[in-house]
Every structure is written in structure tokens, then in C-alpha cells.
């Protein structure tokens, strides 16, 4: 099988052609640097994404911006969003505070990206 993807590792955005079969990469072309090989491999075999979203505040108006501390498996994003959407944050919150620990058993936290006094 072949997939055409854009490497988003840097602003150049090289168009990659990834050939794969039975969970193995056969070839990757179109990359300008070796990071494109890593990107193309991960994107086809185990795609991951950083979640950036907002949660409700309990004792303040408005929403608190949050993100995953690192990338999460893309195929579970809806599961993670369902967990995040049930959570509220209570001020004061510092940027970097853990809002959800170990989301979905991944070992990755959802953290605040803004301080709210």
C-alpha cells in the first residue's frame, strides 16, 4: 500500500510517499532530511497527536486552555476528549498544573497552558 502524507516536522512540509505492507515500511521518499523517515514511519504505523483543547472552570467564568503533556495515540483521541469534556478545573491554576493525570492509562497528563488566579 502507498500513502501520500505531508511531513509536519518543520515548516518546509515535504510531501512524503510511504510504501508499506503488513505493518512494515518498505520505502519512504520525498523527504529532505532523515526526520522525514521517522515522521513517515510513525504517521503510518502509530500516528500520534498532541491534544490542545479547553475545560470548564468551576469558580471562574470562561474556560481553561489545556494540552497533553506529550503526544497521544491518534486512534484514541475521541476517548480522551470524552474524558476531558467531563472535567472541570478550579482556580487558582498555574500554567503546567496537571488537570488530568495519566489520561486513559497512557502515562500522559493533561496540563493547564494558562495561569488563572
Residues in contact with ligand SF4 by the rule CB under 6 A:
7, 9-10, 12-14, 31-33, 35-36, 39
Residue 16 CB, nearest approach to ligand SF4 (Å): 7
Closer to ligand SF4 at the Cβ: 9 or 106?
9
Residue 43 CB, nearest approach to ligand SF4 (Å): 11
CA angle, residues 5, 113, 71, in degrees to nearest 5? 35
Closer to ligand SF4 at the Cβ: 9 or 113?
9
Residue 29 CB, nearest approach to ligand SF4 (Å): 11
Closer to ligand SF4 at the Cβ: 2 or 101?
2
Residues contacting residue 2 through CB under 8 Å, at least 6 positions apart? 17, 18, 19, 20
Burial status of residue 7 (CB atoms within 10 A of its CB: 0-12, 13-18, 19 or more): buried
Q: Nearest residue to ligand SF4, using CB?
A: 36
Strand 88-89 and strand 98-100: the pairing is unpaired
Instruction: Find how far residue 45's CA is from the centre of its chain.
Output: 15
Closer to ligand SF4 at the Cβ: 34 or 117?
34
How many residues are listed for the chain in this entry?
A: 117
Amino acid at each position: 500500500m502507498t500513502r501520500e502524507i505531508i511531513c509536519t516536522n518543520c515548516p518546509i512540509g515535504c510531501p512524503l510517499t510511504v510504501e508499506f505492507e503488513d505493518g512494515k515500511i518498505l520505502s519512504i521518499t520525498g523527504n529532505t532530511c532523515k526526520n522525514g523517515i521517522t515522521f513517515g514511519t510513525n504517521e503510518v504505523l502509530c500516528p500520534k497527536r498532541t491534544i490542545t483543547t479547553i475545560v470548564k472552570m468551576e469558580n471562574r467564568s470562561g474556560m481553561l486552555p489545556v494540552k497533553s503533556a506529550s503526544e497521544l495515540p491518534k486512534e484514541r483521541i475521541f476517548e480522551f476528549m470524552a474524558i476531558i469534556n467531563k472535567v472541570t478545573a478550579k482556580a487558582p491554576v498555574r500554567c503546567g498544573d496537571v488537570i488530568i493525570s495519566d489520561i486513559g492509562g497512557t502515562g500522559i497528563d493533561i496540563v493547564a497552558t494558562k495561569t488563572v488566579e
